[in-house]
Structure 1
Amino acid sequence: MTLTIGYIGFGKSTTRYHMPYTLIRDNIRIKTIYNHRRKPELEADYAQHNIEFTDNLDTLLQDTEIQLVSICTPASTHYDLAKKALENGKNVLVEKPFCTTSEEAEELFALAKSKGLIAMAYQNRRFDSDFLVIKEVLASGKLGELVELESHMDYYRPEAPDAPGEYYDGAFYGLGVHMMDQIIDLFGRPEEVSYDIRSIRNSNNPDDTFEIQFFYPTLKVIVKTSHLVNIPYPKFTLHGTKGSFVKYGIDQQETYLKAGIMPGEKNFGVDPESSYGALVYVDASGKTQQETIPTPLGDYGRLYDQLQDAILNGTPKLVSDEETLTNMTILEQGFTGQNPRVISL
């Protein structure tokens, strides 16, 4: 069965992180793209796919063939657009952050539930290759009981021209929302969270640096981003009662997409062997073992596969309402008091 979708927005999010995956899937049909400012020169690139373009939002929302609306617009517009789509009987997939407040998110989930529809956050980084290998290592049990996990997404970008914005325009809402979703997917809702959120390069701009710590009964998780890191940390570092695992290098899908190499092309997104993770652990006989763990292939399109199954066959959606609300609560609480601090959840 084929899922017919429409996109709201025709910027980088749609053309780089969504459409390259949906265009190559037989179970997905893109019927309409809404863009309030038409771009004929870009639209022509998709003529072979028989996609309709419109600057009239009602054309998309009132089309009875469209089952899913994927919203790829600025964060400040997500709530209003998702609400309109749901009111018109459409399932919705919403780019990050899902909304700007927990209250907005709760209202959308309640509306979707009342209409028998799905509203879900676009957490494509659940299909990052580096995250998939973490799940494999944890599932193997070779680390024993996990006691600490550290996750990084760092850059070296010392220049930061003035770009004022709202609290949801910074790195915490832009990058932290993905990194924290991965942790919530693995371990659920933490008991406590500590915050250190700052704007280091240019105080006129929203935050560019954060360190968030999640506390579980026997586990501590550290989530960090900085734009002033010129010698990379490992992407993931895990320590358990029986061993440790270290993985350098981030998922390569974005690198390939930026270079114009698309999903379906040879070796798309393949992690170089030099970035494979290192696992050191003590086995059942008490001997120390060392393994190099190949990185599985990431694929953001798997999110659409799962959502197609959820909409057409009623399977559970990938990102639950509770997981999104936990994420939204942590994001929101990051800007309601003095940093650094610890809060109880």
Structure 2
Amino acid sequence: MALKMAIIGFGKSANRYHLPYLKQRKNIEVKYIYNHRRHPERETAYQNMGIKFTTDLDEVLKDDEVQLITVCTPADTHFDFAKQVLESGKNVLVEKPFCKTVAETKQLLDLAKEKHLIAMPYQNRRFDSDYLTLKKVLDRGYVGEPLEIESHMDKYRPDDQVHTGDKINGTFYGLGIHMLDQMLALFGKPESVAYDIRAIQNSKSTLDDYYQMDLHYGKLKVTVKTNPLVADPYPRFILHGTTGSYLKYDIDQQENDLKQGIMPDADDFGQDTPDKFGHVKYHNKNGDWIEKQIPTVQGDYGRIYDTLYDSIVNGKAKLVSDEETLLDIEILERGIQQPSPSVVKF
């Protein structure tokens, strides 16, 4: 059975993170793309696939064949579009961040339950190759009991312009949501979170470009951090445990390939080269020190659509539960509610 869907928005998100993967799904058909402005030069390839472009959102919302709509618009429009989709009786997948506040998030999730529909955030980075490999290292127990994890997504991107606007448009909400969700999916609700959220490139900016969150789980501390002025980057993941350590440099390669025009159907799409494999050093049960490379697990952002198909068509549980969605937004929202640095207990 083919699941028919539509996409609201036709910017970078739709073109880079959704459509290339949806083209590979034989059981999902994109029927419409709604955008308030037409871009004929960019639409032709998709029109040849049978996708209809429209500037009339009602045409999409009133089509009974459409069961799922993905919202790929600016963050501050997510709540309004998602609410319209649910009210029209259709399931909705919302690009990150799902909403700005817990109140908005709860309203959408409650509306979905009332109408027996699915509302879920697009947490595609649960299918990052580097993250999947970290999970593998933890599951195999290489480092024993985990004591400390650092998750870095740093870059060197100087920008001295003044950036102002709603906090949902800052780096903390925009990228922090992914890094936070990865760790919450592994470890659940923390006991407390220490926040450091700032604009470090221009003191007049009201939108942050730097953040660090320290999530405390008893003996375990998890740090997620982004800094826009790191010329020589940290490892993507640093993991220390009772019996060893694991380090992984460089991020998932899917986005780099997509930027190069290499699509998900290519044999080597998104694959790490061996020099980028993670490295683990651990003490085994015989007391020997072992060092080895851990080949990177293959990532695939399209798998989020596979899970949605199973949820909508086969009634399986959602990849991202309502409890996880609410916790993600609660931790973000609490972080911007007081001057930084701050500590919040959960």
Aligning the two structures, in what range does the TM-score lie when normalised by the shorter sequence?
over 0.9
- What is the CA distance between 1:334 and its match in structure 2? 1.2
Partner in structure 1 of residue 127 of structure 2: 127
Q: Distance in 2 between matches of 1:23 and 1:130?
A: 24
Query: After TM superposition, where is structure 1 displaced by more than 3 Å over at least 4 residues in a row?
Result: none
Partner in structure 2 of residue 151 of structure 1: 151
Deviation sequence 1:276-325 (CA, Å, 0-9, x none): 00011111111111110000111000010011111100101101111111
SS of the residue 2:20 aligns to: helix
Q: Distance in 1 between matches of 2:179 and 2:314?
A: 29
SS of the residue 2:222 aligns to: strand
**TM-score, normalised with respect to structure 2:** 0.98
Partner in structure 2 of residue 322 of structure 1: 323
Partner in structure 2 of residue 282 of structure 1: 283
1:308 is the counterpart of 2:309: yes
Q: Distance in 2 between matches of 1:79 and 1:42?
A: 27
Q: Which amino acid aligns with 1:328?
A: I
Q: Which amino acid aligns with 1:272?
A: T
Partner in structure 2 of residue 208 of structure 1: 209
1:75 is the counterpart of 2:75: yes
Q: Distance in 2 between matches of 1:210 and 1:79?
A: 24
SS of the residue 2:175 aligns to: helix
Where do residues 1-345 of structure 1 align in structure 2 (5 Å cutoff)?
1-205=1-205, 206-345=207-346
- What is the CA distance between 1:163 and its match in structure 2? 3.3
Deviation sequence 1:245-300 (CA, Å, 0-9, x none): 00001000011111111110131111111110001111111111111000011100
SS of the residue 2:246 aligns to: strand
Q: Which amino acid aligns with 1:299?
A: D
Deviation sequence 1:3-34 (CA, Å, 0-9, x none): 11100001110011100000121011000010
Q: Which amino acid aligns with 2:81?
A: L
Q: Distance in 1 between matches of 2:202 and 2:286?
A: 54
Structure 1 residues without counterparts, runs of 5 or longer: none
Number of equivalent positions? 345
Q: Distance in 1 between matches of 2:303 and 2:104?
A: 27
Bigger CA drift: 157-166 or 114-123? Answer: 157-166
- What is the CA distance between 1:160 and its match in structure 2? 3.5
- What is the CA distance between 1:204 and its match in structure 2? 3.6
* Contact kept? 2:151, 2:236, Cα under 8 Å: yes
Q: Which amino acid aligns with 1:248?
A: Y
Deviation sequence 1:147-188 (CA, Å, 0-9, x none): 110000000011243332211111100110000000000000
* Contact kept? 2:234, 2:249, Cα under 8 Å: yes
Structure 2 residues without counterparts, runs of 5 or longer: none
Q: Distance in 1 between matches of 2:177 and 2:160?
A: 21
Q: Distance in 2 between matches of 1:209 and 1:338?
A: 14
Q: Which amino acid aligns with 1:288?
A: W
CA RMSD of aligned residues (A): 0.9
